[in-house]
Structure 1
Amino acid sequence: MSGIAQTADRFFDAVSRGDTAVLASLYSPDAVIWHNYDDIEQTREQSMRLLSWLDRKAGPLRYVDVRRILLDDGFVQQHVVELGGGCAGLRMPAMLRVFCDDRHIHRIEEYVDPGPLNERLAATASR
Protein backbone atom coordinates (compact mmCIF):
# COMPACT_ATOMS: atom_id res chain seq x y z
CA MET A 1 0.00 0.00 0.00
CA SER A 2 1.36 3.43 -0.89
CA GLY A 3 2.20 6.01 1.74
CA ILE A 4 -0.51 8.29 0.40
CA ALA A 5 -3.11 5.52 0.77
CA GLN A 6 -1.95 4.97 4.36
CA THR A 7 -2.22 8.72 5.05
CA ALA A 8 -5.77 8.68 3.65
CA ASP A 9 -6.74 5.65 5.73
CA ARG A 10 -5.29 7.18 8.90
CA PHE A 11 -7.08 10.50 8.22
CA PHE A 12 -10.55 9.01 7.76
CA ASP A 13 -10.08 6.65 10.69
CA ALA A 14 -9.09 9.59 12.92
CA VAL A 15 -12.04 11.72 11.75
CA SER A 16 -14.50 8.87 12.30
CA ARG A 17 -13.18 8.38 15.87
CA GLY A 18 -12.83 12.10 16.66
CA ASP A 19 -9.10 11.58 17.31
CA THR A 20 -7.66 15.09 17.15
CA ALA A 21 -4.21 13.89 18.28
CA VAL A 22 -3.84 11.79 15.14
CA LEU A 23 -5.29 14.61 13.03
CA ALA A 24 -2.70 17.00 14.50
CA SER A 25 0.05 14.59 13.49
CA LEU A 26 -1.35 14.25 9.96
CA TYR A 27 -1.97 17.92 9.18
CA SER A 28 1.11 19.88 8.16
CA PRO A 29 1.60 22.98 10.37
CA ASP A 30 0.36 25.23 7.54
CA ALA A 31 -2.46 22.97 6.32
CA VAL A 32 -5.43 24.68 4.70
CA ILE A 33 -8.94 23.21 4.59
CA TRP A 34 -11.42 24.77 2.14
CA HIS A 35 -15.17 24.09 1.98
CA ASN A 36 -17.31 24.67 -1.09
CA TYR A 37 -20.35 25.73 0.94
CA ASP A 38 -18.77 28.84 2.47
CA ASP A 39 -15.67 29.39 0.28
CA ILE A 40 -13.57 29.89 3.42
CA GLU A 41 -10.16 28.42 4.10
CA GLN A 42 -9.63 27.06 7.60
CA THR A 43 -6.40 26.52 9.45
CA ARG A 44 -5.53 23.10 10.85
CA GLU A 45 -6.60 24.27 14.34
CA GLN A 46 -9.97 25.49 13.07
CA SER A 47 -10.49 22.24 11.19
CA MET A 48 -9.67 20.13 14.25
CA ARG A 49 -12.11 22.18 16.36
CA LEU A 50 -14.83 21.70 13.73
CA LEU A 51 -14.19 17.95 13.46
CA SER A 52 -14.16 17.59 17.26
CA TRP A 53 -17.47 19.47 17.46
CA LEU A 54 -18.93 17.30 14.69
CA ASP A 55 -17.88 14.15 16.56
CA ARG A 56 -19.60 15.39 19.73
CA LYS A 57 -22.80 16.42 17.93
CA ALA A 58 -23.14 13.77 15.22
CA GLY A 59 -20.56 11.07 15.89
CA PRO A 60 -19.57 8.48 15.38
CA LEU A 61 -19.10 9.11 11.68
CA ARG A 62 -18.99 6.23 9.26
CA TYR A 63 -17.66 6.42 5.70
CA VAL A 64 -19.43 4.17 3.20
CA ASP A 65 -19.58 3.82 -0.58
CA VAL A 66 -15.94 4.95 -0.68
CA ARG A 67 -14.32 5.54 -4.05
CA ARG A 68 -10.72 6.76 -3.89
CA ILE A 69 -8.27 7.68 -6.63
CA LEU A 70 -4.62 7.97 -5.63
CA LEU A 71 -2.60 10.72 -7.29
CA ASP A 72 1.07 11.68 -7.20
CA ASP A 73 0.29 14.61 -4.91
CA GLY A 74 -2.58 13.17 -2.86
CA PHE A 75 -5.95 11.65 -3.60
CA VAL A 76 -9.59 12.26 -4.49
CA GLN A 77 -12.22 10.49 -2.44
CA GLN A 78 -15.96 10.31 -2.92
CA HIS A 79 -17.98 8.81 -0.10
CA VAL A 80 -21.17 8.97 1.90
CA VAL A 81 -20.87 9.98 5.54
CA GLU A 82 -23.34 8.20 7.80
CA LEU A 83 -23.85 10.19 10.97
CA GLY A 84 -24.60 8.99 14.48
CA GLY A 85 -25.80 10.54 17.73
CA GLY A 86 -28.66 12.98 17.35
CA CYS A 87 -28.14 12.80 13.59
CA ALA A 88 -28.41 9.03 13.30
CA GLY A 89 -29.77 7.95 9.96
CA LEU A 90 -28.52 11.05 8.14
CA ARG A 91 -26.36 10.36 5.09
CA MET A 92 -24.27 13.06 3.44
CA PRO A 93 -22.56 12.50 0.08
CA ALA A 94 -19.22 14.28 -0.13
CA MET A 95 -16.03 14.52 -2.14
CA LEU A 96 -12.58 15.59 -0.99
CA ARG A 97 -9.52 16.52 -3.02
CA VAL A 98 -6.61 16.08 -0.63
CA PHE A 99 -3.08 17.28 -1.34
CA CYS A 100 -0.64 15.25 0.73
CA ASP A 101 2.48 13.16 0.80
CA ASP A 102 3.10 9.94 2.68
CA ARG A 103 3.24 11.79 6.03
CA HIS A 104 1.28 15.06 5.98
CA ILE A 105 -1.86 16.63 4.58
CA HIS A 106 -1.18 20.08 3.13
CA ARG A 107 -4.57 21.05 1.69
CA ILE A 108 -8.11 19.67 1.61
CA GLU A 109 -10.84 20.88 -0.72
CA GLU A 110 -14.16 19.52 0.56
CA TYR A 111 -17.35 19.43 -1.48
CA VAL A 112 -20.42 18.72 0.65
CA ASP A 113 -23.90 20.12 1.30
CA PRO A 114 -24.17 20.70 5.08
CA GLY A 115 -27.84 21.77 4.83
CA PRO A 116 -29.37 18.48 6.02
CA LEU A 117 -26.93 18.30 8.94
CA ASN A 118 -27.64 21.89 9.96
CA GLU A 119 -31.41 21.27 9.78
CA ARG A 120 -31.14 18.14 11.93
CA LEU A 121 -28.96 19.87 14.52
CA ALA A 122 -31.34 22.84 14.67
CA ALA A 123 -34.30 20.48 15.14
CA THR A 124 -32.60 18.55 17.96
CA ALA A 125 -31.52 21.78 19.67
CA SER A 126 -35.10 23.10 19.73
CA ARG A 127 -36.46 20.01 21.49
Structure 2
Amino acid sequence: MLAFADKFFAVVSAGDIETLKTLYHDDVAVWHNYEEHEQNKEENLETLGSIPRRYDSFDYADARCVAIAGGFLRQHVIHASRNGKKAVIPAILRVYVDEGKVRRIEEYFDRGQLTAALT
Protein backbone atom coordinates (compact mmCIF):
# COMPACT_ATOMS: atom_id res chain seq x y z
CA MET A 1 0.00 0.00 0.00
CA LEU A 2 2.85 2.41 0.80
CA ALA A 3 4.41 1.73 -2.61
CA PHE A 4 1.06 2.60 -4.21
CA ALA A 5 0.85 5.79 -2.11
CA ASP A 6 4.36 6.80 -3.20
CA LYS A 7 3.51 6.15 -6.85
CA PHE A 8 0.22 8.03 -6.57
CA PHE A 9 1.84 11.17 -5.13
CA ALA A 10 4.77 10.99 -7.54
CA VAL A 11 2.26 11.03 -10.40
CA VAL A 12 0.25 13.88 -8.83
CA SER A 13 3.42 15.90 -8.13
CA ALA A 14 4.63 15.42 -11.70
CA GLY A 15 1.28 16.61 -13.06
CA ASP A 16 0.97 13.36 -15.03
CA ILE A 17 -2.78 13.45 -15.54
CA GLU A 18 -2.80 10.62 -18.08
CA THR A 19 -1.22 8.20 -15.61
CA LEU A 20 -3.39 9.54 -12.80
CA LYS A 21 -6.48 8.58 -14.82
CA THR A 22 -5.35 4.96 -14.66
CA LEU A 23 -4.94 5.10 -10.86
CA TYR A 24 -8.54 6.24 -10.28
CA HIS A 25 -11.68 4.13 -10.49
CA ASP A 26 -14.12 5.64 -12.96
CA ASP A 27 -16.50 6.42 -10.08
CA VAL A 28 -13.87 7.93 -7.77
CA ALA A 29 -15.11 10.63 -5.39
CA VAL A 30 -12.81 13.36 -4.04
CA TRP A 31 -14.14 15.25 -1.05
CA HIS A 32 -12.60 18.39 0.47
CA ASN A 33 -13.44 19.74 3.91
CA TYR A 34 -13.78 23.32 2.61
CA GLU A 35 -16.63 22.77 0.14
CA GLU A 36 -19.96 20.99 -0.02
CA HIS A 37 -19.19 19.12 -3.22
CA GLU A 38 -17.58 15.79 -4.04
CA GLN A 39 -15.55 16.00 -7.21
CA ASN A 40 -15.95 13.20 -9.72
CA LYS A 41 -13.04 11.84 -11.73
CA GLU A 42 -13.18 14.46 -14.47
CA GLU A 43 -13.53 17.38 -12.06
CA ASN A 44 -10.62 16.25 -9.92
CA LEU A 45 -8.37 15.61 -12.92
CA GLU A 46 -9.17 19.14 -14.13
CA THR A 47 -8.38 20.59 -10.70
CA LEU A 48 -5.05 18.80 -10.48
CA GLY A 49 -4.23 19.52 -14.12
CA SER A 50 -4.82 23.24 -13.60
CA ILE A 51 -2.24 23.58 -10.80
CA PRO A 52 0.55 24.78 -13.13
CA ARG A 53 -1.77 27.52 -14.47
CA ARG A 54 -2.84 28.65 -10.99
CA TYR A 55 0.49 28.63 -9.16
CA ASP A 56 4.07 29.60 -9.95
CA SER A 57 5.20 26.66 -7.83
CA PHE A 58 3.35 23.94 -5.97
CA ASP A 59 4.71 20.92 -4.15
CA TYR A 60 4.31 18.64 -1.18
CA ALA A 61 6.91 18.43 1.60
CA ASP A 62 7.41 16.58 4.87
CA ALA A 63 5.24 13.66 3.77
CA ARG A 64 4.28 11.03 6.30
CA CYS A 65 2.24 8.10 5.16
CA VAL A 66 0.80 5.06 6.89
CA ALA A 67 -1.08 2.12 5.45
CA ILE A 68 -4.47 1.57 7.05
CA ALA A 69 -7.32 -0.81 6.36
CA GLY A 70 -8.56 -0.18 2.82
CA GLY A 71 -5.98 2.43 1.85
CA PHE A 72 -3.62 4.94 3.38
CA LEU A 73 -3.43 8.12 5.40
CA ARG A 74 -1.00 10.81 4.30
CA GLN A 75 0.04 14.03 5.95
CA HIS A 76 2.12 16.60 4.10
CA VAL A 77 2.74 20.31 3.86
CA ILE A 78 1.65 22.15 0.73
CA HIS A 79 4.18 24.72 -0.47
CA ALA A 80 2.70 27.05 -3.07
CA SER A 81 3.67 30.38 -4.57
CA ARG A 82 2.04 32.91 -6.85
CA ASN A 83 3.14 36.42 -7.82
CA GLY A 84 5.96 36.45 -5.27
CA LYS A 85 3.75 35.35 -2.38
CA LYS A 86 4.20 32.03 -0.60
CA ALA A 87 1.95 29.69 1.35
CA VAL A 88 2.84 26.79 3.62
CA ILE A 89 -0.27 24.79 4.54
CA PRO A 90 -0.49 21.46 6.40
CA ALA A 91 -2.86 18.88 4.93
CA ILE A 92 -4.03 15.35 5.55
CA LEU A 93 -5.70 12.90 3.20
CA ARG A 94 -7.51 9.65 3.75
CA VAL A 95 -7.27 7.66 0.54
CA TYR A 96 -9.44 4.58 -0.01
CA VAL A 97 -7.90 2.05 -2.38
CA ASP A 98 -9.88 -0.82 -3.88
CA GLU A 99 -8.54 -3.36 -6.39
CA GLY A 100 -5.34 -1.35 -6.86
CA LYS A 101 -7.07 1.94 -7.70
CA VAL A 102 -8.26 4.96 -5.73
CA ARG A 103 -11.97 4.75 -4.91
CA ARG A 104 -12.29 7.82 -2.65
CA ILE A 105 -10.17 10.67 -1.25
CA GLU A 106 -11.03 12.80 1.76
CA GLU A 107 -8.74 15.82 1.97
CA TYR A 108 -8.49 18.23 4.88
CA PHE A 109 -6.66 21.57 4.76
CA ASP A 110 -7.36 25.22 5.43
CA ARG A 111 -8.24 26.63 2.01
CA GLY A 112 -8.78 30.07 3.58
CA GLN A 113 -5.19 30.10 4.80
CA LEU A 114 -3.98 29.21 1.30
CA THR A 115 -6.10 31.91 -0.32
CA ALA A 116 -5.11 34.58 2.22
CA ALA A 117 -1.41 33.85 1.82
CA LEU A 118 -1.51 34.10 -1.97
CA THR A 119 -3.87 37.05 -2.43
TM-score bin (small chain): 0.7 to 0.9
Q: What residue is the counterpart of 2:63 in the other structure? A: 66
**Identity, % of aligned positions:** 37
Contact 1:7 1:26 (8 Å CA) reproduced: no
Distance 2:43 2:56 in 1: 18
Q: TM-score, normalised by structure 2?
A: 0.86
User: Cα 1:60–1:20, aligned 2, differ >3 Å: closer, same or farther?
Assistant: farther
User: Is 1:91 equivalent to 2:84 in the alignment?
Assistant: no
Choose which of 92, 98, 101 in structure 2 pairs with 1:104: 101
Structure 2 residue matching 1:39: 3-state secondary structure = coil
Structure with bigger strand share is 2
Q: What residue is the counterpart of 1:30 in the other structure? A: 27
User: Cα 1:112–1:102, aligned 2, differ >3 Å: closer, same or farther?
Assistant: same
Gaps of 5+ in 1: none
Contact 1:75 1:98 (8 Å CA) reproduced: yes
Gaps of 5+ in 2: none
Q: Paired residues, what number?
A: 119
Distance 1:73 1:59 in 2: 35
Contact 1:15 1:61 (8 Å CA) reproduced: no
Structure with bigger helix share is 1
